[in-house]
Structure 1
Amino acid sequence: MGSPPRSSPRLSWRRVLCVLFLPFVSSGFAPPAKYRNNFIFERRKLPPNPRRFDWSHLTPRELKNRSQGIQTEERAGRNPYFTLEGHEFLILGGSVHYFRVPRASWRDRLLKLRACGFNTVTTYVPWNLHEPERGTFDFSGNLDLEAFILLAAEVGLWVILRPGPYICSEVDLGGLPSWLLRDPDMRLRTTYKGFTEAVDLYFDHLMLRVVPLQYKHGGPIIAVQVENEYGSYNKDPAYMPYIKKALQDRGIAELLLTSDNQGGLKSGVLDGVLATINLQSQSELQLFTTILLGAQGSQPKMVMEYWTGWFDSWGGPHYILDSSEVLNTVSAIVKAGSSINLYMFHGGTNFGFIGGAMHFQDYKPDVTSYDYDAVLTEAGDYTAKYTKLREFFGSMAGAPLPVPPDLLPKTAYDPVTPAFYVSLWDALNFLELPVTSEHPVNMENLPINGGSGQSFGYTLYETTITASGVLTALVRDRGQVFLNTFFLGTLDYKKKTIVIPTVQGFTTLRILVENCGRVNYGDNIDQQRKGIIGNVYLNDSPLKKFKIYSLEMDRSFLQRFTADKWKPLTEEPMFPAFFLGALSVLDSPYDTFVKLEGWEKGVVFINNQNLGRYWNIGPQETLYLPGAWLDVGLNKIIVFEEKMAQRIIQFVDTPNLGQHEYVH
């Protein structure tokens, strides 16, 4: 067992500030642990199994001479099936999203997928992260898709790519970039010219990277999904053929798939593309099979998404799904001769502000954790689901499964007491200059970021008033209202008015609006502009002459908080505020979980990396902090808190995702 890291003695404020603002030096990958935390895996010699999946056990690097990728085949007296190089092949996939997992942990998660008996990894590709500003592309670091795909091949996994452009996936706007909404006439997921022109440019850049990694070129990509659950949207009959052609015109030549749930399956079928299904209940399997047979004739069956758990929303429960139910459903699907992909095998984390939302009766933003009650936990630990599934797949394999990797250790670091702070109001003096506008401007249409507007974070609107009365505003999603620095209340979807008390002379009205996450699923994705929408009224008269501050809280934003901007926390802080502390790590950094008991709502940053949001309404009570993001020595931790701070930041070795409720 590896020994936990030690904490250093108390440090002076001057030393803390001096060290924190030295250039950061990456400490590399944390070493693996030498223990398995109650999960014992042994190599077992299995007897030859004549019913093994033929070529399903072959890895990308073992298959050198290639001529024919995944095909569909049918023989008299049996159901249709997939073949690879003419040999029967069953796709056993698990979803792992590279953008939700620290790059240093990719290998660990993929090795665990392989060791569980799977032969394929599936991943979505988030357009909004790869093209954060129109025409500016990012495939570096944690977004290095090519590296992830090549690593999958190295580990021994095939790849099913799900490039969208829309991906749902509980990602902000379903993975579509928010700058698309600058166009007032935008119609997302249609053949509207403004949308297709943007898709074409994105696909030009994306396909240059992934086309060479297809099976026919010696790579691991065996199939590509066309869009995502379009049958549930289905607003333009020309759209799916356009996406199919856009992929093929740029060199995609492997098996094409669609993926739909029960509500969209009948209208989601596309000529020349294999339809697959998404489900959670074993009872749905026969119904889906019947619908598929009627929609596309006799084809191999594949469950593209078997939901191993579910996502959580702020203010709700932490959803779980019983491991025995998961095993029984997976077993029934596979024994019926169907290929399968588990969504999720490993959920990971909605780091930063990438989480989406649902809005049917009520608006419900997603929590930071994407644990999903998946086969691996958010931090990559084994679960009962893993143990049971590995035993099941191992019993069907023709050779022993690889030994699962050791668990990465976790630790509870000593608590950190923030020693410095700066209020948001003081920070305005050294942040980017505000946009001035006669009327409020929504986030996406702000003239910043090379004409791409603001995607994430907060936006502050300021104007001057001289009278009291009733203030009315349409804010998306939460707007905190201040007179000068005095907090009056919060506007949201249900509360659109607030009473302004008597004011003396010229008074600054401030509305701090948070984008809590754009809707990622449903018919209303075209209406996901954030900030203040339309005018702000005081007694039915529109207010004018606004200063608008973009508070994206990205790296460039945080770099403005230089050492001279902070002041010692020796008095009661004025909120909202930023708090600065130092986490000391003397040994190899390990994973941990940040606990902010006594704080209310805000965002946590470690070494300028955005861990995500916390909120005391739950269910999530801890934030995952990867050891790979920590350095040996002092680590700068900044907390942006909206209302209330306990002045102590705790670190625990066990996550708390809230009270459980079984998925219905």
Structure 2
Amino acid sequence: MSDFAIGESDFLLDGEPFRILSGALHYFRVHPDLWADRIDKARRMGLNTIETYVPWNAHSPRRGVFDTTGMLDLGRFLDEVAAAGLHAIVRPGPYICAEWDNGGLPAWLFQEPGVGVRRYEKQFLAAVEEYLGQVLAVVRPRQVDQGGPVLLVQVENEYGAFGNDQEYLEAVAAMIRETGITVPLVTVDQPVPEMLTAGGLDGVLRTGSFGSRSVERLRTLREHQPTGPLMCMEFWDGWFDHWGGPHHTTGVEEAARELDALLAQGASVNIYMFHGGTNFGLTSGADDKGVFRPTVTSYDYDAPLDEAGRPTAKYEAFREVLSRYSSTPVDASPPRAEAPAPRFTVALGEPVRLLADPACWGAETCHEVMPSLDDLQTRLALFRTEITVDGPALLSVGEVRDRVLVFLDGAPVGVLERERRDRALMLPHGRGRLELVVEDQGRVNYGPRIGEPKGLLGDLRLDAEPLTGWTAWAVDLDAVPNLWTSAPPASPAGVGPTAWRTSFPVGEPVDHFLRTDAWGKGIAWVNGFCLGRYWHRGPQHTLYVPGPVLRPGDNELVVLELETMVDPTATFAAGLSLGPVED
């Protein structure tokens, strides 16, 4: 057991000054059988600590549930950090941002009438207390003063950029202490005076988040905190990507120079990210600062380890910088070499069309007024009604969240997209079967639009008349890989959302890279494991397939194409293709 404390100017480990050299590694973005590999590479780069957020919504998809299995086994992750001889920082939120769906807040929370968002409101606080009790029960026995790796626990996350409710922050800090957390607590905010004031707490160490002008930012932090160690809790060494944008990168020399400047000031650091990993499943979030921009599946972040865990030039540059500030020698031996990824193609077959027989995709319900996706508890739904208007007709909706494919008598008519602020579409005629496939592209993870409902909101009209009498099918995406056990015989390829499957052989289960640039827009699974979303817009044109997902022999690939599969062929490439970089 060790004692860890905040001193006059340093962190103190067993009474001696200790500089935290940490890297962000989110257990929920990395296959658990690869945690040890990524942690070992962090140690070899010269880090002595691993930091992770905790995503409330992933652990608690429904109230009363707290899942710690598989990729959500926080206890196993912290134990692997300890086994590697490293320390840990845990940031449980309840809000985490992290470019993660809804900033980590569960969607069910916002279906409570009158619930507050990150403020002192009894319904919200009751849910937060329940959550913190569950997650910190995992952390409590793994604190450094109980023989574990955890040095610090964070209160909320960049709260000064959101609100100014000190009573709320104090309540969250008190809840953390009441669970038995005895290690020091911290807050983090961008080093802007008003944010440091609004997001900080007396008696809790303030830390900063920034990626440039390190000396200036640390000076601002010191002005708001005269004593205590200086720490950048998020040293941004890269950035995340949006669909349709460039792949963001930062210069290796520039990033290394900033890291050196930060450490030269005597500060501690958490490199965000050391390894970004992947937004597997439908976990990526979105921005909406006037324009809705969903985040891609890859969370490569231009980090020292790329999305597949392979060292980059930034890894070597950071290792050289860290070696000059580490209190222990940095392991100079290179990380384990990765096996090459196989390259091959395989035909997709056995298409199953959503519009042909929606009953096998999910439960049917009837509604006079169209429900939201939240009402149906789904991320994708088909809505159908009959229309009887003479001549061409204008379909209009109050707000699209986030994308709608429109069909009339089975033929595609057009697309309504939130990103373009679409609200209306002209139908060629007003009689027949109107079908709308509504997709949630990821919940906003930053700012005032956190927690907003998904689906078609407001008045839905055909010309001036309300559209009513809907039949809805909430698509069970978890069940898509099993469609062929319940669906009718595979149908010929046609328009509209279609699931395809194939098998492919694997010798040694090493990482694979599935190319998607020849497809349209959709989701892919390998052996039932959801790799995430793809979209021809890019920038990323590969989906990462972790080696532990595969097995020797036959493996199954399932693809749900929402638009059109021009060439039903799956191509596996030699490595990542994350798209063109920004100028």
Q: Distance in 1 between matches of 2:39 and 2:300?
A: 16
Query: Which stretch shows the higher mean deviation, 457-466 or 345-354?
Result: 457-466
- Return the letter of the residue paired with 1:113: A
**Alpha-carbon deviations, 1:461-506, whole Å to 9, x = none?**
22221115111112200011111311111112211001122244xx
Structure 2 residue 39 is the aligned partner of structure 1 residue 110: yes
**Alpha-carbon deviations, 1:196-243, whole Å to 9, x = none?**
111111122112211111112111101001010000011533111111
Q: Distance in 2 between matches of 1:551 and 1:588?
A: 34
Structure 2 residue 474 is the aligned partner of structure 1 residue 553: no
The match for 1:488 is 413
Are 2:496 and 2:564, in contact at CA under 8 Å, matched by a contact in 1? yes
Q: Distance in 1 between matches of 2:325 and 2:292?
A: 44
- Return the letter of the residue paired with 1:611: L
Q: Distance in 2 between matches of 1:519 and 1:170?
A: 8
Are 2:405 and 2:414, in contact at CA under 8 Å, matched by a contact in 1? yes
Q: Distance in 2 between matches of 1:96 and 1:580?
A: 33
Are 1:441 and 1:534, in contact at CA under 8 Å, matched by a contact in 2? no
Are 2:287 and 2:445, in contact at CA under 8 Å, matched by a contact in 1? yes
Equivalent of residue 372 in structure 1, options 287, 291, 301: 301
- Number of residue pairs matched? 574
Equivalent of residue 393 in structure 1, options 314, 319, 322: 322
Any idea what SS the aligned residue of 2:569 has? Answer: coil
Equivalent of residue 106 in structure 2, options 163, 177, 201: 177
Are 2:534 and 2:541, in contact at CA under 8 Å, matched by a contact in 1? yes
Structure 2 residue 453 is the aligned partner of structure 1 residue 529: yes
- Return the letter of the residue paired with 1:567: A
Structure 2 residue 166 is the aligned partner of structure 1 residue 244: no
**Alpha-carbon deviations, 1:505-558, whole Å to 9, x = none?**
xx22111111111110112214x211121331111221112122212412x443
Structure 2 residue 543 is the aligned partner of structure 1 residue 613: no
In the TM superposition, residue 608 of structure 1 has moved relative to its aligned partner by 1.1
- TM-score (normalised: structure 2): 0.95
- Return the letter of the residue paired with 2:380: Y
In the TM superposition, residue 563 of structure 1 has moved relative to its aligned partner by 7.4
Are 2:360 and 2:487, in contact at CA under 8 Å, matched by a contact in 1? no
Are 1:584 and 1:635, in contact at CA under 8 Å, matched by a contact in 2? yes
Any idea what SS the aligned residue of 1:440 has? Answer: coil
Q: Distance in 2 between matches of 1:604 and 1:152?
A: 31
The match for 2:424 is 497
- Return the letter of the residue paired with 2:254: E
Higher relative contact order (CA 8 A, sep 6+): 1
The match for 1:216 is 145
Are 2:276 and 2:301, in contact at CA under 8 Å, matched by a contact in 1? yes
In the TM superposition, residue 171 of structure 1 has moved relative to its aligned partner by 0.2
Q: Distance in 2 between matches of 1:204 and 1:644?
A: 47
Equivalent of residue 218 in structure 2, options 289, 292, 295: 289
Any idea what SS the aligned residue of 1:265 has? Answer: helix
Query: Which stretch shows the higher mean deviation, 626-635 or 109-118?
Result: 626-635
The match for 1:516 is 441
**Alpha-carbon deviations, 1:66-124, whole Å to 9, x = none?**
3x21x2223xxxxx111111011000000000000011110000000011110000000
- Return the letter of the residue paired with 1:117: G
Unpaired runs of 5+ residues, structure 1, are 1-64, 75-79, 447-452
Are 1:181 and 1:444, in contact at CA under 8 Å, matched by a contact in 2? no
Q: Distance in 2 between matches of 1:87 and 1:566?
A: 70
Q: Distance in 2 between matches of 1:340 and 1:427?
A: 55
User: Which has the larger share of strand?
Assistant: 2
Distance 1:396 1:199, change over 3 A: closer
The match for 1:360 is 289
Q: Distance in 2 between matches of 1:174 and 1:104?
A: 26
Structure 2 residue 366 is the aligned partner of structure 1 residue 436: yes
In the TM superposition, residue 177 of structure 1 has moved relative to its aligned partner by 0.5
Are 2:275 and 2:303, in contact at CA under 8 Å, matched by a contact in 1? yes
Equivalent of residue 266 in structure 1, options 188, 197, 201: 197
Any idea what SS the aligned residue of 1:649 has? Answer: strand
Query: Which stretch shows the higher mean deviation, 426-435 or 204-213?
Result: 426-435
Are 1:433 and 1:549, in contact at CA under 8 Å, matched by a contact in 2? yes
Are 2:517 and 2:535, in contact at CA under 8 Å, matched by a contact in 1? no
Are 1:116 and 1:404, in contact at CA under 8 Å, matched by a contact in 2? no
Are 1:596 and 1:648, in contact at CA under 8 Å, matched by a contact in 2? no
Structure 2 residue 387 is the aligned partner of structure 1 residue 465: yes
- Return the letter of the residue paired with 1:480: L
Are 1:92 and 1:120, in contact at CA under 8 Å, matched by a contact in 2? yes
Are 1:315 and 1:617, in contact at CA under 8 Å, matched by a contact in 2? yes
In the TM superposition, residue 405 of structure 1 has moved relative to its aligned partner by 2.7
Any idea what SS the aligned residue of 2:196 has? Answer: coil
What pairs up with 1:57-206 in 2 under 5 angstroms?
A: 65-66=1-2, 68-69=3-4, 71-74=5-8, 80-206=9-135
In the TM superposition, residue 624 of structure 1 has moved relative to its aligned partner by 0.7
Are 2:6 and 2:184, in contact at CA under 8 Å, matched by a contact in 1? no
What pairs up with 1:277-356 in 2 under 5 angstroms?
A: 277-281=208-212, 283=213, 285-356=214-285
Are 1:265 and 1:291, in contact at CA under 8 Å, matched by a contact in 2? no
Distance 1:564 1:485, change over 3 A: closer
- Return the letter of the residue paired with 1:423: R
Q: Distance in 2 between matches of 1:305 and 1:129?
A: 22
- Return the letter of the residue paired with 2:395: L
Query: Which stretch shows the higher mean deviation, 574-583 or 336-345?
Result: 574-583
Are 1:269 and 1:275, in contact at CA under 8 Å, matched by a contact in 2? yes
- Return the letter of the residue paired with 2:410: T
Are 2:346 and 2:570, in contact at CA under 8 Å, matched by a contact in 1? yes
Q: Distance in 1 between matches of 2:41 and 2:299?
A: 18
Are 1:266 and 1:291, in contact at CA under 8 Å, matched by a contact in 2? no
Select the structure of larger CA radius of gyration.
Answer: 1
In the TM superposition, residue 140 of structure 1 has moved relative to its aligned partner by 0.2
Distance 1:308 1:592, change over 3 A: same
Q: Distance in 1 between matches of 2:553 and 2:486?
A: 18
Are 2:353 and 2:493, in contact at CA under 8 Å, matched by a contact in 1? no
**Alpha-carbon deviations, 1:255-292, whole Å to 9, x = none?**
101011134223211111100000011x2x34333332
Distance 1:564 1:154, change over 3 A: same
Q: Distance in 2 between matches of 1:260 and 1:297?
A: 16
Are 1:598 and 1:644, in contact at CA under 8 Å, matched by a contact in 2? no
Structure 2 residue 343 is the aligned partner of structure 1 residue 413: yes
Q: Distance in 1 between matches of 2:256 and 2:334?
A: 19
- Return the letter of the residue paired with 2:411: F
In the TM superposition, residue 564 of structure 1 has moved relative to its aligned partner by 6.1
Any idea what SS the aligned residue of 2:202 has? Answer: coil
Unpaired runs of 5+ residues, structure 2, are none
Equivalent of residue 582 in structure 1, options 479, 496, 503: 503
Distance 1:516 1:562, change over 3 A: same
Are 1:440 and 1:535, in contact at CA under 8 Å, matched by a contact in 2? no
Any idea what SS the aligned residue of 2:57 has? Answer: helix
Are 2:516 and 2:535, in contact at CA under 8 Å, matched by a contact in 1? no
